[in-house]
Amino acid sequence: MKAKWSVRDWVYIGLFGALWGAAEMTLGSVLHIMFPPVANTFVVGVIMASLGCVIALCGRVFVPHRGSVLLIGVITTILKAFSLGGIKIGPMVAIMAESLLMEAGLLILPAASAAGFALAGMLALSWNFFHRFIMMWLLFGTDFMEVGIKMAKSGSRVLGMNEELLLPILGVLLLIRMAAGLAAGLLARILGRGVAGRLVREGS
């Protein structure tokens, strides 16, 4: 028997979707100004994806139903479409893909477990790596190798590695994202459970 969604559940969905959307529209713009163009794709991408992961997975703690993270992502995507920069397909696709991957992680492992949240975060942040390959191919027909070379060149400057080490650089960039996702997933679970528990205590 499927659990029914309460009005409170829908309120939380809207709240966490709005929080993620607000972060995308405000903090994302500020970070793009703070960091140089070379670091934008990597540094800003990791920060914003990690923050989105924390917010969405905190929402899952408050609304422990399948599909809640995806719905939070849908609201965030809608809000992103109304941001000052106008409709940008890339970020909107990224938000939806990250939401879907978080849901997948919570389906593969027990949703309430630390491992489930960690996997959800790792999968979401992994998309941050593959996103550029897929979007450049879909929108401009750019070859994966060309995208990889450009990513390695910019990554070499951020990491301080020789740009000729193509595969090691790409591997490090992916591993950093996965580590950030793991940390974001676990942090979301800790924060969500802590805040939820405090609300219950204060309401009792």
Sequential pLDDT tens for the chain (204 residues): 456 899 999 999 999 999 999 998 888 777 767 766 655 568 888 999 999 999 999 999 999 999 999 999 999 999 988 876 667 788 899 999 999 999 999 999 987 899 999 999 999 999 989 998 998 888 888 888 998 898 888 888 888 888 889 899 999 999 999 999 999 999 999 999 999 888 877 764
Is the dihedral angle over the CA atoms 95, 179, 176, 138 positive or is it negative? negative
Delineate the domains of the chain, giving CATH numbers in brackets: 7-203 (1.10.1760)
Classify 3 as helix, strand or coil. Answer: coil
pTM score, two decimals? Answer: 0.91
Please count the other Cβ atoms lying within 10 Å of the Cβ belonging to residue 113. Answer: 12
